[in-house]
Structure 1
Amino acid sequence: MAASPLRLAVVVKGYPRLSETFVAQELLALQERGVDLSIWSLRHPTDTRRHALHDRIAAPVHYLPEYLRQEPLRVLRALFRLPPAKLWAAARLWWRDLRRDPTANRGRRFGQALVLAAELPADAPFLYVHFLHTPASVARYAAAIRGIGWGFSAHAKDIWTTPDWETREKLAEARFGVTCTATGAAHLRALAADPQRIELVYHGLDLGRFPDPPDRRDGPGGLRDGSAPDRTVEILSVGRLVEKKGYDRLLDALAALPAGLHWRLVHIGGGPLGSALRAQAERLGLADRIDWRGAQDQATVIEALRRADLFTLTSVIAGDGDRDGLPNVLMEAASQKLAILSTAVAAIPEFIADGEHGVLTAPEAAAIAAGLDRLLTDPPLRLRLGEAAYERLRAEFGMTPGIDRLLRRLADTVPA
Structure 2
Amino acid sequence: MSPKPKIAVVLKGYPRLSETFIAQELLGLERAGHELVLVALRRPTDRKRHPVHDEIRAAVHYLPEYLHEEPLRVFRALVKTVPKPGFRRVLGSFLRDLARDVSRNRFRRLGQALVLVTEWPEDAAWLHAHFIHTPASVTDYASIITGIPWTCSAHAKDIWTSKDWELSGKLDRARWTVTCTRSGYEHLRDLSKDQTRVHLSYHGLDLDRFPAFEGEHSRRDGADPDDPVRIVSVGRAVPKKGYDVLLKALSLLPADINWRFEHIGAGELTGGLQALAAKLGIEDRIRWHGALDQKDVLGRYRGADIFALACRVAADGDRDGLPNVLVEASSQRLACISTAVSGIPELLEDGKNGLVVPPESPEPLAAALERLIRDPELRRRLGAAGERRVRSEFDHHSSVRQLVGLFESEWRRSP
TM class, shorter-length? over 0.9
In the alignment, which residue of structure 1 is the partner of 2:213?
A: 213
What corresponds to 1:31 in structure 2?
A: 30
Equivalence for 2:219: 223
- Cα deviation for residue 123 of structure 1 reads 4.2
Tell whether 2:405 aligns with 1:408.
Answer: yes
CA contact (8 A) 2:4 2:408 kept: no
Work out which of the residue numbers 330, 353, 360 in structure 1 matches 2:349: 353
- Measured in 1, the distance between the counterparts of 2:122 and 2:10 equals 17
Q: Which amino acid aligns with 2:24?
A: Q
Kept in 2: contact 1:222–1:380 (CA 8 A): no
Structure 1 CA distance, aligned partners of 2:392 and 2:65?
42
1:300 to 296, 300, 305: 296
1:319 paired with 2:318, answer no
Is the CA contact (8 Å cut-off) linking 1:214 and 1:336 kept in structure 2?
Answer: no
Contact 2:112/2:138, CA 8 A, preserved across alignment: yes
Q: CA deviation at 1:290?
A: 0.4
2:153 aligned residue: 153
Of 253, 257, 265, the match for 1:257:
253
Find the counterpart in structure 1 of residue 383 from structure 2: 386
Structure 2: runs of 5 or more not aligned: none
Match of 1:89 in 2: 89
Q: State whether residues 214 and 337 of structure 1, in contact with CA within 8 Å, keep that contact through their aligned partners in structure 2.
A: no
Letter in structure 1 aligned against 2:348:
I
Q: Verify: 1:41 aligned to 2:37, yes or no.
A: no
- 1:28/1:56 contact within 8 Å kept: yes
Deviations 1:199-221 (A, max 9, x none): 001110110112321432xxxx3
Could you tell which deviates more after superposition, 118-127 or 100-109? 118-127
Query: Offset at 1:118?
Result: 1.2
Q: Report runs of 4+ in structure 1 exceeding 6 Å deviation.
A: none
Mapped pair 1:374 → 2:375 = no
AA at the equivalent of 2:283? A
TM-score of the aligned structures, taking structure 1 as reference length = 0.96
Q: Which moved more, 1:131-140 or 1:71-80?
A: 71-80
Q: CA deviation at 1:4?
A: 5.4
CA distance, structure 2, for counterparts of residue 123 and residue 60 of structure 1: 13
Distance 1:244 1:165 in 2: 24
Q: Retained in 2: the 8 A contact 1:168–1:192?
A: yes
Q: What is the SS of the residue equivalent to 1:207?
A: coil
Amino acid at match of 2:170: K
Shift of 1:81: 2.2
CA-to-partner distance for each residue in 1:323-357, whole Å, 9 max, x for gaps? 11001101110111111011111110001110011
* Pairing 1:331–2:327 present: yes
Counterpart pick for 1:237 among 233, 236, 239: 233
Q: What amino acid sits opposite 1:116 in the alignment?
A: L
- CA deviations over 1:75-116 (Å, ceiling 9, x no partner): 122122224321121011011111111111111110000011
Question: Sequence identity, in percent?
Answer: 53
What amino acid maps onto 2:334 in structure 1? L
Instruction: Give the whole-Å Cα distance in 1 for the aligned partners of 2:159 and 2:285.
Output: 36
Q: Is the 8 A contact 1:225 1:231 kept in 2?
A: no
Compute the displacement of 1:122 (Å). 6.0
Are positions 1:174 and 2:170 aligned together? no
Which segment is superposed worse, 94-103 or 79-88? 79-88
Cα deviation code 1:183-210 (max 9, x no counterpart):
1100100111111100001110110112
Structure 2 CA distance for partners of 1:231 and 1:122, relative to 1, 3 Å: closer
Alignment of 1:183-194 (within 5 A): 183-194=183-194
Q: CA RMSD in A?
A: 1.2
SS of aligned partner of 2:17: coil
